[in-house]
Chain A
Amino acid sequence: MINVSHNLKVLVGMSALLAAVLFALAAPVMAQAPAQPLPVISPELDKRLKVLETELRCLVCQNQTLADSPAGLADDLRREIRTLALAGKDNAEIKSFLQTRYGDFILYRPPVKSTTWLLWVGPFALLALGGLVFAIIVWRRGRGRDDDDDPGSGGTGGAGGVHEARKLLDE
């Protein structure tokens, strides 16, 4: 018992130390120059840009959208997007502005092109392939009920088994 509680104490102490170390490592990151305020925009424009920002990836935290990300860079990009929008740029123009600088990765919906067609077509191709294999199996079982060459229809399992059972019932 004593041993267990001692181990627990060591563990708690270690995690406290770890937390302190992590905090110390993170502290310099927080020492960035303070973020400048976002330009003032109308509520309608703000609504439009919020939607746009949910389609853009924050490259710092990668699994967050620009709308959600607390990263300093996301702040800068939100400010830039607002500035561009105030200059009369539409969503497509803002997206292409970011795309030429950060690449397709910044878009949550990547464009269809030679390097991404596998990404777009792949899942549907796999689905079609699966459907095809399924259809072939079903067709073969339906056709080859008495065909012992097909291991799927032989023995006790599968459609062949049901067929054999029917035969026995009929007798």
Chain B
Amino acid sequence: MAKVWRYLLPLGIFAVLVWFLFKGLSLNPREVPSPLVNRPVPNFTLSKLHAPDQKLSASDLKGQVWLLNVWGSWCVSCRIEHPLLNELAKNNVVPIYGMNWKDKREDAIGWLNKFGDPYVASIADVDGRVAIDFGVYGAPETFIIDKQGIIRHKHIGPITAESLQKDILPLIERLKKS
């Protein structure tokens, strides 16, 4: 019996090690889980990008499922996901609000004119202060917020057709029904 263990134990330890290393291969270190998921959306009041004299607050958006997409005209990967956002907006899937992060107003508006504007409204976070409350560390990032104003999901990096079909759209449908 002891003989069997002598061979099984190292094999077992090896298997555990392989499992951990294999898991590590498929993890993306850039995707840091946000502690804000399942917490209320941080309160903010910021000027709208297209109408700087108008303010938008988190409380204005209660009672609906909405997306908050963090973007910037300087952000290269934002261009990758942008057609998908345009598509979502065109089909009225969900209202998308933009957070224009650390950008210049004229650059941002020019960018939207060039690539299309899927946003109901964009808020301008010029100094990045509100982005800190959202735990933003790189654009693009997308938050899904439910009717009660609770963040239910954070997507880090460009939205892909796959993540849209697998995670984002099903979650939006579920939140809309609840």
Contact = CB atoms under 8 A, between A and B. Distances in A.
Interface of A: 25, 28-33, 36, 59-60, 62, 72-73, 76-77, 80, 99-105
Interface in B92-137: 102-104, 107, 126-129, 131-137
Given A80-B129, A80-B132, A102-B32, A32 B137 contact: no
* A contacts with B: majority SS: helix
B29 A103 contact: no
B104 A33 contact: yes
Contacts of B138: 59-60, 73
B137 to A, nearest CB: 4
B36 interface: yes
A36 B127 contact: yes
A29 B32 contact: no
Contacts of A104: 35
Contacts of B102: 32-33, 72, 76
B150 to A, nearest CB: 15
28 contacts: A25-B76, A28-B73, A28-B74, A29-B75, A29-B76, A31-B73, A31-B74, A31-B107, A32-B103, A33-B103, A33-B104, A33-B127, A72-B128, A73-B128, A73-B136, A73-B138, A76-B102, A76-B127, A80-B132, A101-B35, A101-B132, A101-B133, A102-B35, A102-B135, A102-B137, A103-B34, A103-B35, A104-B35
Contacts of B34: 102-103
- Secondary structure at chain B's binding surface: helix, strand, loop or mixed? loop
Interface of B: 29-30, 32-36, 72-76, 102-104, 107, 126-129, 131-138
Contacts of B137: 59-60, 73, 102
Contacts of A77: 132
A102 B156 CA distance: 13
Contacts of B76: 25, 28-29
A79 B138 CA distance: 17
